[in-house]
Structure formats: C-alpha cells, structure tokens
Amino acid sequence: MKRILKIAAVMTAAVLTLMTGCEKTTIDAKYGDKKTKFAEVPITELSLTDPGEGNTVSQEIPASDATVTGGARLAGSMITGMNAEGDSITYSLSIPAAGWYDLTFEQSGDATRVNNVSVDGYRQAEITPANPTAQFIYLGSGDHQITLTPSWGWVDFGKLTATPTDFDFADAYNVTAELSNPNADEHTKMLYKFLKDIYGRYTLSGQYADSGRESDEYKAILDATGDSFAVLGLDMGEYVHGAQANGAEVHSVEYAHDWYYNAGGIVQVCVHWISPVAYVTDGCRWWESFRAEASDIDLDLVMNGGDDRCLEKLDDDIEDLAEQLNLLQEDGVPILFRPLHEASGGWFWWGECEPESYIKFWRHLYDKLTNEYGINNLIWVWNGQSADWYPGDDVVDIVAWDIYPGEREYGSASPIFAECAQCPGENKLTALAETGCVPDPDLTWRDNARWLLWGTWSGEFCVQNGVLSEQYTDKEMLKKAYASEHTLTLSELPNLRKYE
C-alpha cells in the first residue's frame, strides 16, 4: 500500500430482504434459476461497450492549442513550468466515434519523472518521458478534456497524439487457466471456479479491515450501505520471527476463519513482511522494517548466494507463515494470497532489488509453501506493478495492481487494467487488489475495465475516528457501488463451501 499515484444487461433480478433489513438482490436471483452455473453465460454474450467503427483516425493537438494554468507557459513548441500544485496543461479532443485510444505526450526531461493524466476530470494514468503513452483510454464520441498535472513535474510537454488502439476485452475475460498448484484442495478449487465464473460479469467489493467484523471499517460500511464487502483484506506480515520476537499480537488467522465460515465471505491476505531482527536498520523501528529504508536486506545479494544467513532467516519466516496458513487449510479456508506486493515501486525490501532477484524469491517462496510445506489452500495473487517483475504463469493465479489515485477519483483505470491483463502469457484473472477510492461501477463497465475485485485500503481511506470518512470516497458513491447491479457484496455471495 501507500502508493502515490502515483496513480449488460444483467438478468432480471428478484429482490429479497436480508438479515440487515435492507433490500438487495442475491447473486442467485441475478442469474435467475439458483441452479444456473455462472459459466453458462458465454463470454461472447457479455455486454461490452461497443467501441464503434469510426475510431480509425489519429489526431495531433499541438502545445500551442493547449490551455495552461498556474506556472505552465508556452515556450516555442513546448510547454514548460508545470511543476507545482495548481499547474496544469489541458488538451481538447473531439472524437468522431467511441473507442479506445493511446494518448502519447511529447516530452523533454528526466526519463523517470512521473506526471499524471486525467480524462474529463478523472485521473487515469501516469506517464514519464521514458513511457510517454497512456494506453487504452476509452473515449466516447464527442468532446473530451485531457489534462496533465504534476506528480514530480519538471518535464516540458509538446503535442498530444491520440491514436486508435485495439484491445480485445472480451478475450481478456476468457480465463481457462487452471490453478497453478495442481494439488489445491477442494475448497480452493471451488473458490477459484467461482472467481472465473463471475469474471467480466461482476466485480467483488472488498475492504481491508485488520479486525474483520470487529473493525470500524466493517461497521461503518454496514451502517452506510446496509450491506458489507465480499472480500476481507488482512495482513499476515507480523506472524514472522522479526515481529513475534518483539511481542507483536496478530489475529489475522482468527479473523480469516470467522469471515469465511461465519460471515460467508472471501479472504485476501497481503504480507507486510517484517525484517528479521538482525536486518532492521539501526535507528529504525521494527514495525516499519517491511519498508526498504528500514531494512538491511539486500535481496540481490541473498538470491545470488551472497548472504546465506539472511536466506536462512527468511526461510524461518516462511515456515512461520506456513504454520499459520496450515491452520486455515486444516479448517478448509481458501485464501487469496498476495505476498511481495508492489515490488517494482522499490519502497519495500522485496522490491529494492533487480527484477530477476524478486522473481527468484517469489518462486522460492512459492516452492517452499507449496512443495515443501504442502500449503494447498492458496490462490496466488501477483502484484508486482510491472510486467518486468512477473514471475511466470506457473506460479501465479491472479494478476493484480494497486492504485491510489487521490481523493474522490472514481475513474475505471482502464489503462492499468489493460496493462495488468497483458502481463501473463495466458489469460489470468485481473484484480484491483488495493485502491484508495471505490471506483464508479458505471465507469468500469463503460470502459470494460471489469476488475475481478477492488479492495479499498483501511484507515483514513475508509474511516476516521471510528466513523465513515468521505475524504477519498463520498458516502453516495460508496452506496452506489455497493448497490450496483455490477457489484457483488457479502450478502450476494453463494455458499462457497458448496459451490459447483
């Protein structure tokens, strides 16, 4: 987490009254007959947005035609000075027919400088001089405002080129891959089948809440919407030696068990992996040692045989995780397991390395848990944030991204969806594992960015001082997302322990 932005028709639904007293549509009612299999709704019948036939002409908008604010100013053929809050550059596009476009911005400056692209008021992508194109932007017919704002700034901008692009969203939802672990237990296979069956048809609502149904997040969302999230996000990072040696108390296993068995929901787990005691940077606090600046772990050195002591300590941690995961396995609780997340950002110790070292460590972790410890209740969620860090189709089941776009930014992030979907060699489920804002379901469906799930982060992204916070997602958008025919909430899940 803590990423700066950094960044249909559905079958006639029956309505029933839930324990909460609110009226909602059950997933079975959405599909009509309770015995109907989700897989019987063919991919070809998905109501995808029609891209039209007229989006075949590229357009170029020179810098001289753009509108600038703040310190941004035209200097020759380029715009300079977009470096601070309040600075912006806006290009106007008139699109003859709806479709997907690649937006390429001429740039001059440090190749690593990140800046933000918004479309009609919603932030959609990041660009750098090295990667100047925001891909797969859905634009309806008519006029659009494409706005650049500084993340880092200090880049000069020239013309905008809008080029029609082609991405087969329908094919992206056609996931035929089996679980990476052929020995996955029956509960895990049932959950995975359910996920494949709903993919492209519904999005699962999710929320990180460290205390499960005892959390402020759970209570606030239930109070605001009359329902709850389908996917509970938990953290297992403090089960490892470095945290336990310092007296950490963590109850994620108990909350996971309660959520699956008593609430009937789905569990997603991340691992903010606390460093072994000897690898906490001097002067830093142990509970921050999952961060690169507070950890002395050199994963390049470790995975190339240069620090066997550290690898031994990390293997001890893996054994700790296996022990806890096995408790859930014994109780038949399947887990969406998302370790080593956001690696390419470099802000965690498992990402302060070369991609090759990360990939080696991912595969090492997978091998230890799956083959050595026999942990067969995991659906492996890779969340490296860059295709260069992808460890391979044979050790990944779901490809995910984390997006923190800012306050009340409800866009679909269709460019990220398409980028994410293209990381694996074969089609995989694509998820928005963490987000700072609940996306507008109307926009995700319009743009065909039908994430398997979204998982809003905890704390200020949901609640403040024990009550619902509207800083990132206002209450009306939260209610809209939970009530949407495109969203599955906790009350709408089938019995996943008996799913066929």
The helix or strand, by DSSP H or E, that contains position 200, with its residue range, turns out to be none
CA distance 492 to 481: 14
For residue 382, which of 239, 295, 458, 271 has the smallest C-alpha distance? 271
Other Cβ atoms within 10 Å of 43 Cβ, number: 16
- Would you tell me how many other CB atoms lie within 10 Å of the CB of residue 499? 17
Q: Write the single-letter amino acid at 26.
A: T
DSSP calls for 79-93? EE---STT-EEEEEE
List Cα–Cα distances, 321 to 119, 218, 295, 324, 359, in angstroms.
43, 26, 20, 5, 19
Spatial contact of 440 and 412, defined as CB atoms under 8 Å apart: yes
- The neighbour count for residue 55, using CB atoms within 10 Å, is 21
342 is catalytic: yes
Inter-residue contact 218 to 262 (CB < 8 Å): no
Report how far residue 273's alpha carbon sits from residue 244's, in angstroms, rounded to the nearest whole number. Answer: 12
Catalytic residue among 126, 352, 434, 492: 434
Helix, strand or coil for residue 19?
A: coil
Instruction: Identify the DSSP state of 316.
Output: H
**Residue 429, SS3 per DSSP:** strand
Q: Identify whether 60 is a catalytic site residue.
A: no
**What tokens appear for 272 in the block?**
């903010």
Residue 423 CB partners (closer than 8 Å, separation 6+): 382, 387, 390, 399
Single-letter code of the amino acid located at 355: P
How many other β-carbons are positioned within 10 Å of the β-carbon of residue 479?
A: 16
Listed residue (52, 56, 148, 71) closest to 107, CA to CA: 148
CA of 150: how far to CAs of 105, 118, 126, 128, 492, in Å?
14, 11, 10, 11, 41
Residue 131 CB burial class (10 angstroms; 0-12, 13-18, ≥19) = middle
Contacts of 3 by beta carbon, 8 Å cutoff, 6+ apart: 342, 345, 385, 402, 403, 404, 434
Tokens for 146, please give them: 């494409």
Query: Taking Cα atoms as reference points, which of 247, 416, 269, 273 lies closest to residue 328?
Result: 269
Which uninterrupted H or E stretch holds 191?
A: helix 186-198
Could you say which of 126, 217, 342, 409 is catalytic?
Answer: 342
> Any idea which residues carry the catalytic annotation?
342, 434
